[in-house]
Amino acid sequence: MVPRYTRPVMAAIWSPENRYRIWFEIEALACEAMARYGAIPEESARTIREKGDAAMAAFTQADLDRIDEIEAVTRHDVIAFLTWLAEKVGPDSRFVHLGMTSSDVLDTCLSVQMVQATDLLLKDLDALLEALKGRAFEHKHTLTIGRSHAIHAEPTSFGLKLAGHYAEFARNRERLLRAREEIAVCAISGAVGTYAHIDPRVEEYVAEKLGLQPEGVSTQIIPRDRHAAYFCALAVIASGIERLAVEVRHLQRSEVREAEEFFHPGQKGSSAMPHKRNPVLSENLTGLARLVRSHVIPALENVALWHERDISHSSVERNICPDGTIGLDFALVRLTGMMEKLVVYPDRMQANIESLGGVVHSGEVLLALARAGILREDAYRIVQRNAMETWTKLGQPDGRTFRENLDADPEVAGRVPAEVLDAAMDSRAHLRQLDHTYRRVFGETGPKSA
Amino acid sequence: MVPRYTRPVMAAIWSPENRYRIWFEIEALACEAMARYGAIPEESARTIREKGDAAMAAFTQADLDRIDEIEAVTRHDVIAFLTWLAEKVGPDSRFVHLGMTSSDVLDTCLSVQMVQATDLLLKDLDALLEALKGRAFEHKHTLTIGRSHAIHAEPTSFGLKLAGHYAEFARNRERLLRAREEIAVCAISGAVGTYAHIDPRVEEYVAEKLGLQPEGVSTQIIPRDRHAAYFCALAVIASGIERLAVEVRHLQRSEVREAEEFFHPGQKGSSAMPHKRNPVLSENLTGLARLVRSHVIPALENVALWHERDISHSSVERNICPDGTIGLDFALVRLTGMMEKLVVYPDRMQANIESLGGVVHSGEVLLALARAGILREDAYRIVQRNAMETWTKLGQPDGRTFRENLDADPEVAGRVPAEVLDAAMDSRAHLRQLDHTYRRVFGETGPKSA
Amino acid sequence: MVPRYTRPVMAAIWSPENRYRIWFEIEALACEAMARYGAIPEESARTIREKGDAAMAAFTQADLDRIDEIEAVTRHDVIAFLTWLAEKVGPDSRFVHLGMTSSDVLDTCLSVQMVQATDLLLKDLDALLEALKGRAFEHKHTLTIGRSHAIHAEPTSFGLKLAGHYAEFARNRERLLRAREEIAVCAISGAVGTYAHIDPRVEEYVAEKLGLQPEGVSTQIIPRDRHAAYFCALAVIASGIERLAVEVRHLQRSEVREAEEFFHPGQKGSSAMPHKRNPVLSENLTGLARLVRSHVIPALENVALWHERDISHSSVERNICPDGTIGLDFALVRLTGMMEKLVVYPDRMQANIESLGGVVHSGEVLLALARAGILREDAYRIVQRNAMETWTKLGQPDGRTFRENLDADPEVAGRVPAEVLDAAMDSRAHLRQLDHTYRRVFGETGPKSA
Amino acid sequence: MVPRYTRPVMAAIWSPENRYRIWFEIEALACEAMARYGAIPEESARTIREKGDAAMAAFTQADLDRIDEIEAVTRHDVIAFLTWLAEKVGPDSRFVHLGMTSSDVLDTCLSVQMVQATDLLLKDLDALLEALKGRAFEHKHTLTIGRSHAIHAEPTSFGLKLAGHYAEFARNRERLLRAREEIAVCAISGAVGTYAHIDPRVEEYVAEKLGLQPEGVSTQIIPRDRHAAYFCALAVIASGIERLAVEVRHLQRSEVREAEEFFHPGQKGSSAMPHKRNPVLSENLTGLARLVRSHVIPALENVALWHERDISHSSVERNICPDGTIGLDFALVRLTGMMEKLVVYPDRMQANIESLGGVVHSGEVLLALARAGILREDAYRIVQRNAMETWTKLGQPDGRTFRENLDADPEVAGRVPAEVLDAAMDSRAHLRQLDHTYRRVFGETGPKSA
């Protein structure tokens, strides 16, 4: 992921330093377990832990260079690291990695990194949920037009719209928790996963210490359906980000102007057109969503590795693991800030509701006519005729509001009392079930109507 | 999905008849609930139910044609159905669909169909798991070579390989159950989801009767992150099918010949080459997996619908909902049959283990040397040298087995007792933790070694 | 592809009848060539042609059933067809398919079908280009606001917008022509493509008769990079359809209302809201674009077949070849009709241009100030300040137009003559290069301004 | 792209320095053109060119930092650069970017970078083609078994296999050339692409100087169908890399051992199993192919930008433009080296041909029987029976070769002369059309058979 979309806190998880730190931890824990179960001397395990901890604490660029230097010869990253470690630990290093295979270290380390990254993403989601809830409560009773097909449908509240996004991100939080479970697994099972050279209790010990579950059957590697499922979760979350970003882009368009991204003092929207204030954050999020979503394909293609393992997944994961989590972390944080600072224009929302001359109440009028005993098919025809008449002449000299047209319609006049039509055209009536929905989504109804 | 890959039982779920049946059920249940909560007359609800049930029971091609005929005018499928229903039900039909919107019917119906399809897929998975378990138990102690990078690594058991696939499909079953939860939701919330014209208790009643959960916030439609998550689950399962199919394709290749798809009497492998017996089922499954997997992209693109709803998801879903579930159903059933009848050749497996002159025991020999006090780095060098020597001269007059080379190596001879090398080169030793893994995967150890 | 999105003319190309017809043609042509080069008797080739032609001319459902019946035993589709053909042709049938392999027939047939489908798609594109050109000429001078980030930018013409889509579809036509070349290839090279049993001149003869090129190296099958490239072209075209569909959806939204899909008499936009007229065609096209686009992934995954061939591509292609071409054909035809009948509202376009109080001229004003000697940075600041002031108070009692604000600004007043500002705020000025662009795109300037 | 898979020469194209260099070049060229057409003073254009050239020549990290600093305020990258440039150029800078919009600079710069990257990729492809041709000529007559479905089919030559990959990469070269044309375009058309403030001749001048074509209709940005088509080409090439990589992985598997990646002295295949020599390069290439291929989805999703432009494509392109070209460059170079050094084992190839007891000649024997007057259906049955008998008893005491079985078959014996069977079982016969194919692919036949 390019630096522009990278937060250092997430990047650190994917740094070589963190990786080597986790590698050492896995090796040291495995030694402790092996010592406990009598496979290697207790004393050696202690030495490995102490000298290794010291080496990791003093880890610098020079160590990175040294490991790279060894890898240039061995062409094997784990062996390069173990060789470096042996230089630090001395003769006891012969007990390190005993009966293990590189995948034990690589895959368990990847699990730890993915768990760390996920925990950060969960915090991001919590902050986003908090922000959405705040705005949803703030605008619980802010009337706005609901739109289907981008055509005015019926009034709703802006808070309810946000509640829908809140509910989606709450589902996304659940999905991410499950995705975390998917990859929070540990494998220390040796070549082709038979535990031929290592006691399964070592795996259990390491897993417990690292907060992981031992893998059921690890065929040397942790099976990649887990990682595929993980990236699916990221992709669904990214798509939820896109949905909210697209909503903001729509609301900010010049003709709608119901909400706007915060525009910083000094900010310039366009080099050529000084009047511009563009929804660049939400557009940026739309693109980031595409990016994170695209990882799902190579992640799925990684599942069908050959026999007990092949390493084709590795070049994919070296990219999509950091890129996916860094990209999503950045996007979630950006989205949270954007939603917190979103400038909302209730007056414009009200004006837009009214801009179609009242036809947005056609559904309630239809019901009123039906209740008044007009056959549904006839009522539909009557209402459609008057709505279309209103719409077609909007803003024209001979244009009339929907109500005016209805009042003048002989099929309506005298059959439906004025107060019934009044009630049918009251936007506030559409908010009557808000408490029901808020309770379902937030577990509380939120602010009462003034 | 082309008929070739379609089972009628799954196709029936996606038939127009089934769809209309469910549409009517939703409308009828909604009427019952509305009557219960006083919105419409009890008597009318009863009439709707009775006449509608009769009409659905007598449903024929003529009804399908009549609905199509109406839709050609209204260009709206739900209105066409309701008009047809009105023709059957009579005046009481004015209470049908009252306060509802088409999406209430369409989306809830889709949920019901997806639940039906999923229940069939779950049965498919159960049968596959059963088949895999059977073969895994049968071949628990069948020695075979484990391969990493398609290169012989160390011995393992064929049953253990199958246990790995079993464990993956058990995870897939869990994923499908969760995916079922994702889409087992009901929405009866009216235009833009405000319940402005309908009591939320109607939704609760219909949901309960249909075995669904009411949607949290349905903005007229059920949010598409649910369906995206569903197709992600199908994609992960498809990828697991591919993994097993690719394994079989590898095992059947001429040079390996460890297993073969059942070849039917009368079957012809090639029009030009009568000797051919090709793994065409597993290749077919590989392709079907690609197909089902590809649905994940449009499903994810469907999430970011505009505002409260747009209908761009519909043309996608009209294809991928049947294609994805029909394709996966067919693939799972085919895979189950293929695995049940898979012809396994334990002799070839044994011959392949031995075909590299014993170098597959290099890992255990390395450990033996290390245990004998040789520094790991030195041991690695010694073992690698003898293994490469063996491998390079395989089948040549001056070729020697790995053991012969070790015995002749001055760095080994005299430092490691013969019985230690004997033990290190015993393939059976790799099976010693089978019970542990079988217990973890199957909850039981399965057959004991003879 | 579901029937709803299928035109019979394209479906016919993918029917079993058409496939068998082409299979026979390939076999018959190959026999003719073999006879010509002395591999089989001339007389036999003639008999095969005559009896085969007769059988194909009389082909009915009974023949389809018979072929299926044979395939149920042989489990091989080409052998089943050849057996049926032998029943029709008699003893001379022993010369049919001689030295050939099934792939020779299957892959060459697929090429013929894809060429047929592509020729239909090219006609579709021609009709679309014609429609777009017509509307682009009609609206060459129809002023409308250009938008970047969905924010009003500067005026442009509606015709120019359409010209941009025309240019994209003209590029798409080029891409489709190249894609046609990619797959217009013939392979008659026998098992693993060595021509061991067949003269390469047979391939050349068949290729020429079918209007195809002989494949360079066909390893038994025609390499799938060709088909992948083909589906890439479809995906790019589908994305172009989406771009235009999304444009129409935006233009039809209630707040914009600059254009509308034609609304048929009797059509109903919503079951609940009689006032609705929704852009359902363009939303439908958006979904179809997602569908066609998704085929690119399995098509790319089909490239890496194993060794000289495996058949995993087949189940993919049996679906995406018809679905992709049928879906795109339907979408292109629907799009053409939609654009031909699109209702355009120039008055709304004009009103929208003016709706932001003239700030859309900020770019030209900026240049005017710069030309008047104000430093660019200062000019930017001045223009941005006045534009934001205008925008913020739009529709408020103390709101002033951009021009009024500029006139009142001491940094502008007196430094820039009124006629310069007049000129800078003339929307028509933005059309001055239309002829240039039209000539580039259409090869002609189209109608002159009135 | 992570550094591990990055060649500096390609990374340099995507560096900020190169980008700013191109930005300046575009602005300077535009000034020259504007001066030529009288829009700005000649003298100013000269000053801008001279001082700008000097500033770019002296460009250091300090300049990067300064630009970042300005961007932190303006939140607009091009304005930040122009402000920095103004600091270097002085008052004449007011003529820089006159009448232009950021997209003019950004998109034309992206075109230049993509052209630079493509030219490097074309060189990579040339080197790969050279390597493949070399090995194809070297092994023109190296017999090997052709495989369909990974089952032995008929003999072919290893050179012919490579010729197939050569032909595919030659097609890929053509595709890349076309993709280069797609994106080798220039847009200098100002806000919403109307040339309202800039002479189209400026665009033509800049385009010519940069070796680009002016865009037909640029709606402010260069339309993204071009970039989508570009990434499609990369994806097809990546899939071709995967096909060859998968071939090598198959050939190196322990049971096949027909070819091997070069194994470096000092290299270690596994930390646990010293005998391992794994095809890690080709596995790595398989993964890189997945990665590059995945970019096609977001690139296609980028096409449908809103109205005249939105910036959602930008975050996608900031990643996939470098990642796609860097990844593909690395993969092509790695593949070339791998193929140049590939260790080929003709003896193993010969042994594998013979390993099935001669059944690989079943096709030719079938033809021989048919030529001898046996009905094709009977001949098929006879050959299949003897081939299956041979195959089933391979390596068993009572096993016989295919020839032995045929000789003992009463339906064959006496009906087909021994020399006809001899000829039918001659592997060399399968090479007889090599010259034909080599001439078609390489334009020359290559080495004559010894």
The answer to which of A338-347, B170-179, B266-275 has the lowest mean pLDDT is B266-275
Chains that touch D (3 or more CB pairs under 8 A): A, B, C
pLDDT of residue D426: 95
Give the pLDDT of residue A266. Answer: 76
Residues of chain C with CATH 1.10.275.10: 1-98
A148 and B243 in contact by Cβ < 8 A? no
Mean pLDDT estimate for chain C: 95
For chain A, say whether B304 makes contact (Cβ under 8 Å). Answer: yes
SS3 string of chain B?
Answer: CCHHHCCHHHHHHCCHHHHHHHHHHHHHHHHHHHHHCCCCCHHHHHHHHHHHHHHHHCCCHHHHHHHHHHHHHHCCHHHHHHHHHHHHHCHHHHHCCCCCCHHHHHHHHHHHHHHHHHHHHHHHHHHHHHHHHHHHHHCCCCEEEEEECCEEEEEEEHHHHHHHHHHHHHHHHHHHHHHHHHHCEECCCCHHHCCCCCCHHHHHHHHHHHCCEECCCCCCCCCCHHHHHHHHHHHHHHHHHHHHHHHHHHHHCCCCCCEECCCCCCCCCCCCCCCCCCCHHHHHHHHHHHHHHHCHHHHHHCCCCCCCECCHHHHHHHHHHHHHHHHHHHHHHHHHHHHHHCEECHHHHHHHHHCCCCHHHHHHHHHHHHHCCCCHHHHHHHHHHHHHHHHHCCCCCCCCCHHHHHHHCCCCCCCCCHHHHHHHCCHHHHHCCHHHHHHHHHCCCCCCCC
Facing residue for D154 by CB, picked from C147, C196, C376: C196
Tell me the count of B-C CB pairs closer than 8 A. 167
- Percentage, residues of chain C above pLDDT 90: 87
DSSP H helices in D193-257? 200-210, 225-252
Check residue A430 and give its pLDDT: 95
Q: Is the pLDDT of residue A74 over 90?
A: no
Please give the pLDDT value at position C374. 87
Quickly count: other Cβ atoms within 10 Å of residue B213's Cβ.
Answer: 14
Average pLDDT over residues A83-100: 93
Share of chain A above pLDDT 90, in %: 88
Q: Mind giving me the DSSP string for C198-234?
A: S-HHHHHHHHHHHT-EEPS--SSS--THHHHHHHHHH
CB atoms within 10 A of CB B256: 22
Chain D residues inside the 8 Å CB shell of C311:
149
Is the pLDDT reported for residue B263 higher than 70?
yes
Among A319, A321, A330, the residue to mutate for chain D (most D Cβ within 10 A) = A319
A250/C150 Cβ within 8 A: yes
Is a pLDDT exceeding 70 seen at residue D450?
A: no
What is the band of C450 on the pLDDT scale with cuts at 50, 70, 90?
low
* Whole-number Å distance between alpha carbons of D279 and D300: 33
Q: What share of chain A is helix, strand, coil (3-state, %, to 5)?
A: 65, 5, 30
- Architecture of the domain whose range is C101-262+276-355: Up-down Bundle (1.20)
Per the model's pLDDT, the better-predicted residue between D267 and D428 turns out to be: D428
Cβ count within 10 A of residue D128: 26
Nearest to A278 among C149, C253, C273 (CB): C149
Query: What per-residue confidence (pLDDT) applies to A371?
Result: 84
Q: What is the mean pLDDT of residues D423-439?
A: 95
Place of tokens 């290839």: C185
Tokens of C450: 């009135």
Model confidence pLDDT, tens digit, residues B74-118: 888 999 999 999 999 999 998 999 889 999 999 999 999 999 999
Is it the case that residue C265 has pLDDT exceeding 80? no
Question: Is the separation of the CB atoms in A259 and A281 below 8 Å?
Answer: no
Q: Quick check: B117 and B10 in contact, CB under 8 A?
A: yes
Distance between CA D100 and CA D112 in Å, rounded?
Answer: 18
Q: Which of A286-295, B128-137, B184-193, D385-394 has the lowest mean pLDDT?
A: D385-394
Chain A partners within 8 Å of B169 (Cβ) = none
Q: Interhelix angle for B42-57 vs B77-89, to 10°?
A: 100
C395 falls in which pLDDT band (50, 70, 90)? confident
Q: Radius of gyration of chain B from Cα atoms?
A: 31
Tens digits of per-residue pLDDT, D150-209?
A: 999 999 999 999 999 999 999 999 999 999 999 999 999 999 999 999 999 999 999 999
| Interface probe, candidates C250, C275, C286, chain A, greatest A C-beta count within 10 A | C275
CA atoms lying within 13 Å on the CB side of residue A333: 15
Distance CA D305, CA D303 (A): 6
Question: Is the Cβ pair B146, A240 closer than 8 Å?
Answer: no
Q: Which residues of B touch C68 (CB under 8 A)?
A: none
In chain A, residues with a C-beta closer than 8 Å to the C-beta of B429 are 196
* Mean per-residue pLDDT, A416-441: 94
What is the sign of the dihedral through the CA atoms of B406, B407, B412 and B418?
positive
SS3 state at C38: coil
Chain A positions touching C278 (Cβ under 8 A) are 148-149, 151
Show the tokens assigned to D305: 């930008």
Q: Does domain B107-355 fall into CATH 1.10.10.60?
A: no
Where are the CATH 1.10.40.30 domain residues in chain B?
A: 359-424
Q: How confident is the model at residue C408 (pLDDT cuts 50, 70, 90)?
A: very high
The interface pTM score, or ipTM, of the predicted complex is 0.96
Phi-psi region at D192: left, alpha or beta (left = phi > 0; alpha = psi -120 to 50): left
How far apart are the C-alpha atoms of C141 and C160, rounded to whole Å?
9
Q: Is B318 on the interface with C (CB under 8 A)?
A: yes
Q: Do A152 and A356 contact (CB within 8 A), yes or no? A: yes
**Assigned token pair, B114:** 């997806």
Listed in sequence order, the residues at least 6 apart from D61 whose beta carbon sits closer than 8 Å to its beta carbon are none
Closest by CA to D37, choosing from D79, D101, D99, is D99
Summarize pLDDT for B272-298 with one digit per residue, the tens. 788 889 999 999 999 999 999 999 999
- Read off the pLDDT of each residue in C427-431 and give the average, rounded to a whole number: 94
Structure pTM? 0.97
Phi then psi for C276, rounded to 5 degrees? Answer: -75, 135
CATH class of D101-263+275-355+432-450: mainly alpha
Q: How far is residue D437's CA from residue C215's CA, in Å, rounded to a whole number?
A: 10
CA gap D421, D425 in Å, rounded: 6
Q: Please state, in angstroms and rounded to a whole number, the distance separating the CA atoms of residues B144 and B161.
A: 9
A106-355: what fold? Fumarase C; Chain A, domain 2 (1.20.200)
Backbone angles phi, psi at A343, to 5 degrees: -90, 120
**Is B303 within 8 Å of A243 (Cβ atoms)?**
yes
Residues of chain A found within 8 Å of residue D311, distances taken between Cβ atoms: 278, 280, 283-284, 287
D392: closest CA of chain A, how far (Å): 25
Average pLDDT over residues C338-363: 96
Average pLDDT over residues A274-279: 90
Q: State the fold for domain B1-98.
A: Fumarase C; Chain B, domain 1 (1.10.275)
Q: Using DSSP, state whether D316 is helix, strand or coil.
A: helix
Residues present in chain C in total: 450
- pLDDT tier at A445, thresholds 50, 70, 90: very high
Q: Is the pLDDT of residue A426 over 90?
A: yes
pLDDT band at A55 (very low <50, low <70, confident <90, very high): very high
Q: Spell out the residues 6+ positions from residue B291 whose beta carbon is closer than 8 angstroms to its own.
A: B238, B323, B327, C298, C315, C316, C319, C320
> B264 touching D, CB under 8 A?
no
Say if the Cβ atoms of B363 and D272 lie within 8 Å: yes
Q: Containing H/E element for A144?
A: strand A143-148
Q: CB under 8 Å to A38, separation ≥6 — which residues?
A: none
The residues of chain B that CATH labels 1.20.200.10 are 107-355
pLDDT surpasses 80 at D46:
yes
Question: Is C275 in the active site?
Answer: no
Which residues have CB under 8 Å from A426's CB, separation 6+? Answer: none
**pLDDT(B450) > 70:** no
Biggest CA pair distance of chain D: 102
Q: Tell me: the pLDDT tens digits for A130-155? A: 999 999 999 999 999 999 999 999 99
Architecture of domain B359-424: Orthogonal Bundle (1.10)
Nearest to residue D305, comparing CAs of B261, A286, B352? A286
Strand, coil or helix: C56: helix
The answer to whether residue D239 is catalytic is: no
Beta-carbon separation of D279 and B150 below 8 A: yes
d(CA C120, CA A124): 51
pLDDT of residue C352: 97
Spatial neighbors of D333 by CB under 8 A, at least 6 apart, are D7, D124, D127
Tell me whether residue D385 is exposed, middle or buried, using C-beta atoms within 10 angstroms of its C-beta: 0 to 12, 13 to 18, 19 or more. middle
Residue A278, SS3 per DSSP = coil
With an 8 Å Cβ cutoff, are B150 and A239 in contact? no
- Of the candidates C158, C161, C340, C351, the one whose C-alpha atom is nearest the C-alpha of residue C255 is C351
CB D124 within 8 A of CB D332: yes
**D360-379: average pLDDT:** 88
Residue A450's pLDDT is what? Answer: 59
Residues C391, C171: Cα–Cα separation, whole Å: 39
Helix or strand run (H / E) with residue C147: strand C143-148
Q: Give how far Cα A163 sits from Cα of A137, A170, B25, Å.
A: 9, 10, 30
- For the record, the structure tokens of B377 come out as 């780095």
